[in-house]
Every structure is written in structure tokens, then in C-alpha cells.
Amino acid sequence: MYTLYSFPGAGGVAIEAALADAGIPYRSKTVALEEKDCDTTEFLGLNPRGQVPVLVLPDGSILTESAAILLYLAEAHPDAGLAPPPGSLEKAQVLRWLCFFAVNVYEGELRRHYAHRFTTTDDGADAVAAAAGEHVARQYGLFEAELSDTGPYFLGERICILDYYVWMLSYWVGDRTWLVRDCPKVEALTRAVRERPAVAALHAAQLA
Ligand SMILES: N[C@@H](CCC(=O)N[C@@H](CS)C(=O)NCC(=O)O)C(=O)O
């Protein structure tokens, strides 16, 4: 069975949603990374970067990087329909936007959330966070322009790993007023994910 290490509201929730929705058995373990002075020695053995999510595979292999974990699950469980077939043009577009969100939006959110790590001056964090927030908002605008009018998901009626990723990330922006106003297709996508029976409880517990 898979073991997913994360903490509430962190990057593991997209993976947990994909696993739960696809009916793939897993157990989840909460890591107390955000608690001051917590002893993460055991966890650092799994991921020396000290970050979640981490997925431990049934044979004990360790996977880190949220986008890679989602891609792995889609390929390891082809019957679950978590992504289009390898080599298809649809898969290429899912890969493209998954990388786009991992590199631009997830990393932008990290700059916003951990702004003090991205400056060498005592008073630089607020400016880093503000610039990161603007950067993230611009990325959603680019994705909005790419979405079809049919929806609700990136591929239309069929959900895929990218949708879970965008749902999770979109709830990290904090005040979603601008997202609802400027990116209605992204908002509809994230609402469709949120309302799925297997996702609703995760949403309420970790992102609401
Ligand atoms: N590139 C990594 C980023 C993982 C990451 O930064 N996770 C955050 C939570 S969302 C974390 O573990 N933060 C704790 C820390 O950096 O101290 C991924 O996509 O999995």
C-alpha cells in the first residue's frame, strides 16, 4: 500500500484527492513540519529537503515532487484514468500545464508563504511576498486563456491529475475574489473538483 506524508493543506492534498477519487488504497501520515522545534529527523531520512509531499511506494521506494508523484500514479494505474494515454497530444498538454503549475504557481506560492527565505534583508520579505502574489495571479490568467468553454475540467468531462493540482493550488491564493472575477473557467474547474464526492471531505478538512 502507498503511504503519503503531508500535513493539512499542504501539497499532499492533490495526491490524496487523486488516490481517493481513483479508489487506490493508501494510508496518510501527518508530518509536523510547521510546528516549531518539532523533531523531523525521521522524516528527513525520507526527504532531505524536509518537504512534503512524500509518497512511499509499496516496495519502500521514495517519491518526492508533487507533480512527479501525480504523473507516476497516473502511469502506474492506467485503469484509473488519471491521465490520457502516454504519447497522446492530450497527455502532452496535461504534462505541459502540470509542469507550468509546478514551476510557476507552486514555487510562486512558496515564495509568498516563505518570503523570508527569499531575501537577505530583514525588511525584504513583504516585497517578496507581494511580488510573488502578483506573479501567481498572472499565471492563472495565462491558464484561463487556454481553457475551453466547455469544461468543467481541463479535458472537458474527464478529470485528470492536472485538475486536482490546480484545485489545490487555487485554494492557496487566500482571497479568491480576483480569481472568481478574472478567471471564471479556472474557478469553475476548481469548484467541479471540490464538489466531487471523494474530494469534498478533503476540501473541508484541508482547504476550506
Ligand atoms: N517542489 C516540491 C515543493 C514541496 C514543498 O515546498 N512543500 C511544502 C508544503 S506545500 C513544505 O514541505 N514546506 C515546508 C518547508 O519548506 O519547510 C513539490 O512539488 O513537492
Cell numbers linked to 133: 502574489
The domains located in the chain, with CATH, are: 2-80 (3.40.30.10), 89-195 (1.20.1050.10)
Give the H/E segment covering residue 197: helix 197-206
Q: Is the CB of 186 under 6 A from ligand 1?
A: no
Identify the residue whose C-alpha is closest to ligand 1 atom 12: 51
Identify the residue whose C-alpha is closest to ligand 1 atom 11: 51
Residue 172 Cα to ligand 1 middle (Å) = 13
Residue 11 Cα to ligand 1 middle (Å) = 7
51, 72, 104, 165, best to mutate for ligand 1 pocket (most atoms within 8 Å of CB)? 51
Q: What is the bridge-based pairing of β-strands 2-6 and 26-30? A: parallel
Q: Is the CB of 206 under 6 A from ligand 1?
A: no
Residue 88 Cα to ligand 1 middle (Å) = 30
Q: Cα–Cα distances in Å, from 37 out to 12, 44, 45, 116?
A: 22, 14, 17, 18
Query: What residues pair up with 156 in beta bridges, in sequence order?
Result: 153
d(CA 97, CA 24): 24
Cell numbers linked to 151: 469544461
Contact residues for 115 (Cβ-Cβ < 8 A; gap 6+): 124, 125, 126, 128, 129, 132
Task: Walk along the chain (208 residues) and give the pLDDT tens digit of each residue.
Answer: 999 999 999 999 999 999 999 999 999 999 987 765 666 778 888 999 999 999 999 999 999 999 999 999 999 999 999 999 999 999 999 999 999 999 999 999 999 999 999 999 989 999 999 999 999 999 999 999 999 998 899 999 999 999 999 999 999 999 999 999 999 999 999 999 999 999 999 999 999 9
Residue the block writes with cell 491564493:
173
Can you list the positions of beta strands (E) in the chain?
Answer: 2-6, 26-30, 54-56, 62-64
What b/e sequence results for 31-50 when a residue is b if at least 16 CB atoms lie within 10 Å of its CB, and e otherwise? bebeeeeeeeeebeebbeee
Identify the residue whose C-alpha is closest to ligand 1 atom 16: 51
Q: Which atom of ligand 1 is nearest to the CA of 10?
A: 10
Angle value at C-alpha 14, between 13 and 15, nearest 5 degrees: 90
d(CA 166, CA 186): 8
Whole-model pTM: value is: 0.96
Q: Which atom of ligand 1 is nearest to the CA of 11?
A: 10
d(CA 93, CA 153): 13
d(CA 128, CA 182): 23
